[in-house]
A = this chain, B = another copy of it.
Amino acid sequence: MGRNPIDQSSGIRWKPNPALDLPMYRQIEAYIRQKITTGEWSAGYRLPSQRALAAAMGVNRSTLVTALDNLAASGMIEGRHGGGTYVTGSSWHSLAHASLPNWSEAAQEGSYYPNLPEIQQINQAEFRPGIIRLGTGELAPELMPNAAFNDILQTLSCRTRTLNYIEPQGSLELRKALSLHLQTSGIQASPDSILIVSGSLQALHLISVGLLPRGSAVLLEKPSYLYSIHAFQSAGLKLNGIPLDEEGLDLGHLDRAIQIAKRVSSENGDESLPLLYTIPSFHNPTGGVMSRERREQLLSLARSSGISILEDAAYQELWLEQPPPPSLKAHDLEGRVLHMGTLSKAVSPGLRLGWLVGPVPVIRRLADIKMQTDYGTSSLAQEAAAAWFADGHHASHMTWLRPELRKRKAFMLALLQQHFHDIAEWTSPEGGFYIWLRFSVEPLSMRRLFHACLDEDVLIHPGYLYDRLDTKHIRLSYAYASFDEMERGLICLAHAARKLL
């Protein structure tokens, strides 16, 4: 972890200066002392490992240890049984009888689950210089419409705008643009039935706390993106995974799960029906597409059983050869389907811009909660997004992007054929970003594979992030790594896998 000049996991960007008169270990001591006395490293804080600290500061381990020993002697830090060096609770502080806040304990309180450790590691490691990201769910910087955004900013710089608060559902200009844009997918949605959100993750969060009672069931594909985040679990919802076949959700399983959920609800004396979360087009992580027939059967099952559907259309537009079957929302004449879209996958994740389409009472309720959560999405992001659609950038970007993604997909498939043909299986996706690689050899620990690759600065997304019991898959993405990185990364991955076998 410590080989990078900026070590994100230690968070330290400071180095002692060898040109100064003060010895290096004294400089380090002063630096850490200042971190502690200003309270940034509060009581109970666990210092980064000696290895990580020494690497981040560019010093020998022995120099660091001298500094740490001095700090320990003055009572500011202490080693603990079981390892680790911690800021001490009280004795260093000059005020007698002071009771120090222990934020490290407080940070374990609170009702929200932390991210899975691997997700935290991935979130951090993604910003390590030189890391090869083989599974990342976003476009490479060079595939993003940088020139178009410069045009948009140029245009916006000549306009007057509102820097004030925006109305609860989001900018009307943007909702009008989206209403038109959704028509291209066969979805009729007036601006009143659209809520602008700060990325579709926020839509999930709002739905989880705003529409679904604690303890209620959410049905979903297994594996699913939704297993890799805690938005629903933190709201006390139970995830119930349904297996997939080649055409999508297994409807026999789904039907049985609905019946069970209904029985449980009725035993608890409530009438609530489960919600189905689905990614019908270019599924995350499998890359699969739900067939047209399966979509119709699913809507029919939803009608007969009474369940509602949350359709995640994040990847819908990222088809490579031909568009996927029409979205579930396009065939919904009852307001049974909530439909989520986003600019994060095809345009820019950093913009944090998504939308939710649904019946007016749902949209109003969620807009009210959104106002309580963040007072609306950034007006600048909304203004840029409205211009993105209105000025025709979206259509031309998609036309440019598809062949680029086709080339990358073909390149990754060729590498897989070359290096993995005897140890893994895969299918060629028709769109989206992902190849769901299945190792066909055993025993091979995905956890060990993840760490072995990370040690070589190659970041992969193990399958258990998307299905806790998965032991065979990793999610690969051809959207992020450069051709050269793909080659080096996949060779490293194949090597690590063979070594672990």
Contacts and interface: CB of A to CB of B under 8 A. Distances in A.
A205 B112 CA distance: 11
Contacts of A371: 115, 123
23 contacts: A41-B360, A98-B304, A98-B334, A99-B306, A101-B359, A103-B211, A106-B308, A106-B362, A110-B365, A112-B372, A113-B372, A120-B368, A124-B167, A127-B167, A139-B164, A151-B157, A163-B351, A198-B377, A349-B375, A373-B373, A380-B381, A380-B384, A381-B381
Contacts of A64: none
Contact of A361 (B44, B188, B362, B373): B44
A326 interface: no
Contacts of A35: 190
Contact of A150 (B138, B157, B337): B157
Nearest to A145: B163
B101 A308 contact: yes
A107 B188 CA distance: 22
A235 interface: yes
A161 B154 CA distance: 14
B141 A109 contact: no
A37 B158 CA distance: 42
A361 B201 contact: no
Contacts of A332: 39
Contacts of A351: 163, 378-380
Contact of A109 (B44, B211, B344): B211
A441 to B, nearest CB: 33
A165 B120 CA distance: 14
Interface string A39-56: 111111100000000000
Given A138-B164, A378-B381, A362 B202 contact: no
Interface string A18-58: 00000000000000000101111111110000000000000
B112 A210 contact: yes
Contact of A165 (B39, B213, B349): B349
Given A42-B361, A163-B350, A378-B380, 4 more contacts: A103-B359, A123-B167, A139-B164, A352-B375
A74 interface: no
Given A163-B145, A165-B350, A379-B350, A303 B112 contact: no
Contacts of A99: 303-306
Interface string A170-197: 0000000000000000001111110000
Contact of A146 (B100, B110, B160, B210): B160
A102 to B, nearest CB: 9
A263 to B, nearest CB: 16
A322 interface: no
A241 interface: no
Interface in A285-325: 303-308
Contacts of A144: 163-164
A414 B468 CA distance: 67
A451 interface: no
A362 B109 contact: no
A359 B154 contact: no
